[in-house]
Structure 1
Amino acid sequence: MSSHTADAHVIDPAGGCPHALNARLRSQGAVAEVVLPGGVPGAVVLGHDALKEFLSHPDVAKDARHFPGLHDGTVPPEWPLRVFANAQGMHTADDADHRRLRSLVGNAFTARQVERLRPRVEELTAGLLDDLDAAAAASPDGVADLRAHFALPLPMSVICELLGVDREHRGRLHHLSNTVIVSTDTTPAEVMAAVRELVALMGTIAAARRAAPGDDLTSALIAARDGDGDRLSEAELIGTMRLMLVAGHETTLNLISNAVRALCTHRDQLALVREGKASWSDVVEETLRWDGPVSWFPFRYPTRDVSVAGTVIPRGTPVLAGYTAAGRDASAYGPGADGFDITRRNGRNLSFGHGAHYCVGAPLARLEAGIALERLFDRFPDLDLAVPDAELPYQRSFIGNSVQTLPVRLA
């Protein structure tokens, strides 16, 4: 793999549905050369087994000090994806630093702690279903946007309550996180302005919790930072809060949206759940595999030349994790990998990652999505898409994988 060859795939910052592209690239090998926006050479790992190996490889790091191009002038200062490399938090830390940061937040996301949130998630879900019903009733054609009225506010409310974020900040936080993290076709100036505002807003939230600590994760992080235990720097505190906020709602928003789309376009699968032949957990797991919420996620960097599935990825290459590609890899899931089948028993998917950086919030995302889907279809058994799935506008991103809006009819 060279600096980049003529046949390297040039990534479209506007993204779109990833599955046809994934299939084409995967047919040529488990690892592909890419040109990242801004003309920066990189790679994406697309095969299931190759990605599993890469994500837990001892010679692959998350810290951007292992990305020489970021520091030697070859990558311009205004590079739009710098925000991923420069972020500070457990998702860009390695080894002891990573373990220290992860242990501070990990206690909030154990299976036991997450299960304690179930009554609150159920309560929020019931209220939002009322809101969705009201939005559809108020619409002249009986159509409501399920993303805006249900799939977004549920995980956003849960993660903001966990972090101790006051209600008035939530709409702005979603807008900023979407600009910074999800939309990869925004201009560098827009991204940097949003980063500055997001960091400032996180600082405001942290200051409020420092002045009036509560029973929330931000207060706990501040206590750990200011106490005699493990210390978080201000940048680590803000970075960790930002990670929790963005990962805590954008991904679950997409997971719920994609599951609803899958069930509406595969009514036979919905019938299996109705008949007790499959569970809502099966729906969640198959959606994670078949149409995961994150497509190509940045970045990891080999600390030496690393061979993955017979392809050498040179030291310092920025590498994307191709989660949606791995999810439909026939070598892992059989010849029916392109099909949506909730009775599938092919082992756990990689949509929450693998290895030391496995998503700490996975139990919460699974809980939220399972409750959301069960209550949604119990309340509105005839819910269906108001627009054919193929005509829904896709997120303008190669990182996030979902649609921008999800218009539905409830009956």
Structure 2
Amino acid sequence: MDGRDLPRPPRRVPADAGTLTQLQTTTPRTPDLPPRQPWVYGRFLAGFLVVLLIIAAGATAGWLFRAESLRINTGQVLESIGHGVVRVLATTCEGSGEASGVLLENGIVLTAASAVKTPLSIVIVTPDNQIRQANLLGTSADGVAVLRMIGQLEDEPIPLATADPDPKSELAQIGYTAAGQQRIQPVGTTERPRALSEVMNAAKLGGPVVDKYGQVVGLVAGDTVQAATIIGLAKLRAYTAPKPVGLTVEVGGKCARSRGPQSPVVPELQVASTPLAVEAQRMLGDYLTLENRHDFTALQAVYSKYRKKSMSPTRDRDSHQTSYFFDPKITGVSAYGADGAYARMTFNVLFSPDVKGAGGLNCRRFDQRYRLVREGGKLVMDGVEMVLPGQVCD
């Protein structure tokens, strides 16, 4: 047996070594990483996001500012230029006799031609009830009438805009109701217009379309509300130029009978609304409505038996065949007899300057007292007396 076959001696364990109870392995050592460098791309991305937020905030603020700049404050506009939007009343052979209008420089008034076809007399009435005669200078094919006011007014005229409005800018139309109340209504924008039928009545035809600055940028014209359109600024400037373009010169009417507006008349009650006063208001309103409609036969129903003897349909027709009564106000009501009344009323009458007794005038203001009696259970007109002599309207 050689030395290769001898058993190996046991491995010497140091005296201070612990007891090996399980197989132990060594853990590999991870090498140290180099220090982390700044994240340049992240810093760039964060800065880019901040810039985007700033731009977005600026764009939003700009959009809000632009949107606000295009809005119209209708209350402020009406307060600043309402004085220059007038009622146009006429007694005509063919026209409706009623429209709105706008007072421009040099006494020029624009309105709807449908109201003043073949007129015998025209007046304009301001919001504070000043009345001025007006003459028709001409009409356009698209329905605009150009009038010249006679006399002066202290109020400033309304300017025509120098340029068309922004297509997104809000606009409004100013006009009158049949009861003579001035109103302003938004009509959308040039880009997105509102249907005129939503805001119009016949008395508003001829009213101006204005921008947020109170400048005229258009005029509503048409024979009816359904046919109403907005005539643009360029055409209005042509019609009002020193040498007008697009106007046809018009002559006055020559009919023997002319009429004004046909809407019902309700006198303004300036006394306490007692049952007697309200009944007198209703009776006098019926009287004026029938006079304006020239229904002289029906008028007999509002007269007493006594008055019918002196005011026949023929006499009524001869006296009022070109008349239009407007702006009535009942200023006094008192009892008469057992169940009658005295009613004092002021009103204006528009008529042809060529009728007998007109003396070339076309409008007078009257102050009269009516004696009302009861027949068949209702008040009827028994007599009329003048309180003050008739005055020229303007």
Normalising by structure 2, report the TM-score. 0.23
Task: Pick 1 or 2: higher relative contact order, CA cutoff 8 A, min separation 6.
Answer: 1
Normalising by structure 1, report the TM-score. 0.22
Query: Considering only CA atoms, is the larger Rg found in Structure 1 or Structure 2?
Result: 2
